[in-house]
Structure 1
């Protein structure tokens, strides 16, 4: 292509922040300036490339990429912008374009207001101007981040996104109202999940009932979408991640949580999740869609999710069984065929001993035996609570209060110790800083001495936040007993174990190794909200099986 036939690329860019500068920075104004300059200086075959509403920090802009595609194809002779900042506010990438990419393709670059023209030899200050442009972007980003932080601390919705199942209140955008069209979908997803349905079964239900995905619904309502719009054939195909995100959102309990994520850099669109202690929690700000019990059951199941078994179903005790000696998870082993009497559980550490080198014993127990024991113990507890409700509440609260007091005493001691250490570190930091400022310590010595303290301080700060939360949670223990009683009232009787009632009532089960002297195995059941329940009865027992001809009969006690 002859030089005279090549394109004169007139590039315009306007960001959201630039809009505040008024008409002087508008796309229309930029176009007028660029075209006038091109006409007066005899640049022909002009073509506009425009990015409206894009930050100069990112170079993933549609208009810019289209122009660079033409540059790399050898179709561009000259690139003209109103000033350097229109091309970009990242001085490294802007410098790469001006000093490497454009020269390689013999492209002349002109920034009108900054007097930059690569056809001349007087562009020594161009890198400095690029650096100032980036400094402006960094400063603007800081101010925006500070504003968003202030809003998050007040419980205001910063990113404008509303959880699926809610709509923003027309009179107050920071207040949520249940969405008449989708609120029942959220309730259905939770109901199916806590009763033991697998994610694929929930996805099938959504597909059969033609429930639009979150992205497709947003697109139909607003004409825009945050994530890629699904293919027309996939508008009812819900991704696993979307469903797990819904199941984990505390907003469905009626709470507002802000400051959940942050950008890693003003130069990047990538975000990371903030730890719990850095988020802002505002309880009871809107109408809940899900009750506390249902939500907690869902969280328990999410925390223990694993691959389906060979028969493509989730085991009834999934995530609840642990070795009573090493604390490792117990795993289901299925025998030949589908008969449940051949299924059994073993300690995960024992199962992986060859690969990991860690030692434990088998803790083998048949599934049929465990189901028999758990059902009997659950019936024992339900019967006792129904017949002696007030006595149970008083006893459970008394035991709970003792346990809580013991835990609180230990945690408060640890908290006081950690806070004292933080104070000591602050004094050490000040002393080291003064020595460094006065020249008694070199910068290298200062960095070496403070690096270890800095890491210790971060660890202590995290632990203080954890302890404070644990202490707050422990003081609410009495309310948990009432929740367990309310759970018991929901059932007239339990004659068969299901995934739903097992995970509603039971928090975890510990399987201990066989005591060879007594030929018995201890099994501990910890119930939701209240832990172990002592009714004063003899331990629940079950005569088991013969593992081989002539073997002793083993008994199990809870």
Structure 2
């Protein structure tokens, strides 16, 4: 809509009958403090006065508060309308309203000029109709870049000073604490006892992190996000939230600040600061657990991580399934006892989701070997078996390719979710703490997916056996992963121990 800023006095119609100059104004403040609302009004009034003085016509005002450069909706609408030639001039109070980095200003303004849009900034007397506009743009963009860097350094220095005084500078206190007089104190609710319980349960060794999370979910214990009132906070405990608590030195009274910073000015990517640059203050606030208990937990976490058996690849990976829920069976290897498999849902989530369906690996191998020997000796023609196995091997290769494609697609989705989380943080929809919690969770998911892809790739590096190699199966004495993939299509395990094996070949009598 085109507005006549002086009513019906013909503003915008040049006395000589020339072209009417339609002007778009853009105003922006980067925070939502109350005084900034008046700043918006002041910017608008100053721009209207300038339009009045020049006998221009106001096309529209594009106004926004507290928005990151990458997601300014009104700015995007302004540029879209400019590219559509809906107006002739963009008017701002200052170049800094359009952008504060060298890259922003030196990209946007030249594009507008190429499109035939005039750009005017009142404070700097900047006008792209002037011959020296490019020189001025370079100078002012550099000045504003320096100003942004100075502001960033000042904010960081102020936070560091506060942290050195023992003040908590984070957005949300750790679970189990609250902030009083700028320092951490034990919360007045039951969360400190939940923290102590998590440490004690983990050290008993009977439950892992995910099992502890499941237990808290069953009891409907509020999550850290719920207790802290975070927007869009998860209502479920997960392994990462338990691990965050178990590895947080805040629970022994340590204040650790300045752990990370932006890679470059304006960048959303973060990097860990060197330990010498971090602020670490022991005994800064009341501890919820003893230092001995904390060290014991760290030792246990390290020992368990070193002894963890990877889920990829095991002998029956992607071959063994729960007959009731249809989920994959998880391999359990202990320093003692036999290797066995159990329902993955039961292992991760407990008895409310499925039953154990446990079976020993040695028993499965015995069953398959007995079946094959019997088929070979009694019913199956050798040539028929060879052809069937070869066909099954080809099918397995196709399935492998599909699975690789699915994992790569999942990796792409996780990367996009990381970008969305970053945009939400930059737009102010989530806090820094929420962003880093999301980033930590997504990064772990990404690591798992990439490791799975790596294992799949390595498992496929083994060349498919030749026809002559397959024929040697008549003297089968031992089953390995390669032979299992050729022989077996699927194995379903019932709760009572009954096993259904589907082979990659048909039995012909």
Q: TM-score, normalised by structure 1?
A: 0.48
Task: Report the CA distance shift for 1:15/1:335 in structure 2 as closer, same or farther (over 3 A).
Answer: closer
Partner of 2:126: 116
Partner of 1:247: 246
Q: Deviations over 1:281-324 (max 9, x none)?
A: 22222222223343233323332323576774876669xxxxxx
Q: Following the alignment from structure 2 to structure 1, what is the Cα–Cα distance between the partners of residues 258 and 99?
A: 29
Task: Report the CA distance shift for 1:294/1:66 in structure 2 as closer, same or farther (over 3 A).
Answer: farther
The answer to whether 1:262 aligns with 2:256 is: no
The answer to whether 1:334 aligns with 2:339 is: yes
Partner of 2:65: 51
Partner of 1:367: none
Structural RMSD (CA): 4.0
Q: Following the alignment from structure 1 to structure 2, what is the Cα–Cα distance between the partners of residues 8 and 191?
A: 67
Task: Report the CA distance shift for 1:81/1:206 in structure 2 as closer, same or farther (over 3 A).
Answer: farther
The answer to whether 1:175 aligns with 2:175 is: no
Alignment of 1:125-164 (within 5 A): 125-164=136-175
Task: Report the CA distance shift for 1:158/1:35 in structure 2 as closer, same or farther (over 3 A).
Answer: same
Task: Report the CA distance shift for 1:162/1:136 in structure 2 as closer, same or farther (over 3 A).
Answer: same
Task: Report the CA distance shift for 1:317/1:60 in structure 2 as closer, same or farther (over 3 A).
Answer: farther
Matched position secondary structure for 1:289: coil
Q: Following the alignment from structure 1 to structure 2, what is the Cα–Cα distance between the partners of residues 97 and 47?
A: 18
Matched position secondary structure for 1:268: coil
Given the alignment, which residue of 43, 55, 58 partners 1:30?
43
TM superposition shift of 1:75: 5.0
CA contact (8 A) 1:12 1:30 kept: yes
The answer to whether 1:189 aligns with 2:198 is: yes
Given the alignment, which residue of 214, 217, 220 partners 1:207?
217
Task: Report the CA distance shift for 1:126/1:177 in structure 2 as closer, same or farther (over 3 A).
Answer: same
Alignment of 1:27-426 (within 5 A): 27-41=40-54, 42-52=56-66, 58-71=69-82, 75=86, 77-100=88-111, 102-123=112-133, 124-169=135-180, 172-194=181-203, 195-219=205-229, 225=231, 229-230=232-233, 235-303=234-302, 304-305=304-305, 306=308, 312=330, 334=339, 338=359
CA contact (8 A) 1:13 1:86 kept: yes
Task: Report the CA distance shift for 1:66/1:159 in structure 2 as closer, same or farther (over 3 A).
Answer: farther
Matched position secondary structure for 1:13: strand
CA contact (8 A) 1:252 1:289 kept: yes
TM superposition shift of 1:116: 1.6
TM superposition shift of 1:46: 1.3
Task: Report the CA distance shift for 1:23/1:300 in structure 2 as closer, same or farther (over 3 A).
Answer: closer
Q: Mind listing any 5+ residue stretches in structure 1 that lack a counterpart?
A: 319-331, 343-558
Q: Mind listing any 5+ residue stretches in structure 2 that lack a counterpart?
A: 3-18, 315-328, 342-357, 364-509
Q: Deviations over 1:113-141 (max 9, x none)?
A: 11222244341322211111111112222
Task: Report the CA distance shift for 1:63/1:333 in structure 2 as closer, same or farther (over 3 A).
Answer: farther
Task: Report the CA distance shift for 1:70/1:6 in structure 2 as closer, same or farther (over 3 A).
Answer: farther
Q: Following the alignment from structure 1 to structure 2, what is the Cα–Cα distance between the partners of residues 197 and 313?
A: 17
Partner of 1:444: none
Partner of 1:466: none
Partner of 2:477: none
Matched position secondary structure for 1:44: strand
Task: Report the CA distance shift for 1:66/1:333 in structure 2 as closer, same or farther (over 3 A).
Answer: farther
Q: Following the alignment from structure 2 to structure 1, what is the Cα–Cα distance between the partners of residues 85 and 176?
A: 51
CA contact (8 A) 1:9 1:49 kept: no
Q: Following the alignment from structure 2 to structure 1, what is the Cα–Cα distance between the partners of residues 37 and 362?
A: 80
CA contact (8 A) 2:186 2:288 kept: no
CA contact (8 A) 1:72 1:105 kept: yes
